[in-house]
Amino acid sequence: MAFLKEALRQNKLTIGSWITLGHTSIAEIMAKAGFDWLTIDMEHSAIDLRDAQNLIKVIELSGCTPLVRVGENNPYLIKRVMDAGAHGVIVPMVNSREEAIKAVEAVKYPPHGKRGVGLARAQGYGLGFEQYKNWLVNESIVIVQIEHIKAVENLEEILKVEGVDSFIVGPYDLSGSLGIPGQFEDQRVKEALEKVTATAKKLNKTAGFHVVPPDADALKQKINEGYRFLGFSLDTLFLGTNCKKLLESLNNLRIR
């Protein structure tokens, strides 16, 4: 399933979302809703490796690309989710060229990286190692998260690292690194994002952004700003926001 890799190469628009609840039915529903990719969040959730592997299976079988956002830029964590069958990883808090190299090396086997070789689900439990080895070189995906002002300052060097396919801005942490968490209209945040899109355009790299609210207009705005790898909200917000909205529309009918 090379669709996402090729889309990133060609700067084509893809829309995905975030999974923070470890139930396979949620992953199946979201995958069949039409998302291009889904990211299993192992940084800000209770999802463990067993959950993640089951979610990866369901997402993949539903014709969607499964990614995993690991909890940190840790070769051990990255190796395990890739062995579980993830098509790629989103690595948080990549703030320098050296940290980007570390992320790529954790995904790739030698000579392209430093990942240890195991025979788990991704390798067909030992029966598909040769195929997986070739797939890893050509189709595995490394996305770095740009969520600190240091990363913005070093973005050009980060994106020049061979093996980095794209990046995705984490707006809450980026604003937090400026001391103004959640204040997205502050001029400092706007200037940082302007620098991000200008650098991506200069290097002909696909720019990504996580639009956290389930707001289609906010998503369209980011498309207009040039972002093409777009995370659209997350499972809990889709569920909670829609429940709240529908119940509020019925408030005048309810007996208290």
At 69 the three-state DSSP class reads: strand
Q: Are 15 and 219 in contact (CB under 8 A)?
A: yes
Tell me 61's DSSP state: H
Q: Using one digit for the tens of pLDDT, what is the confidence trace for 73-121?
A: 999 999 999 999 999 999 999 999 999 999 999 999 999 999 999 999 9
Q: Please tell me the predicted confidence (pLDDT) of residue 20.
A: 98
Catalytically annotated residues: 44
Domains of the chain, start order: 3-253 (3.20.20.60)
CA–CA dist 152, 148 (Å, integer): 7
* pTM of the predicted structure, to 2 decimals: 0.95
Find tokens 């940290």 and name the residue.
99
Residue holding tokens 């893809």? 14
Taken in order 14, 15, 18, 24, the sign of the CA dihedral is negative
Say what the pLDDT of residue 65 is: 98
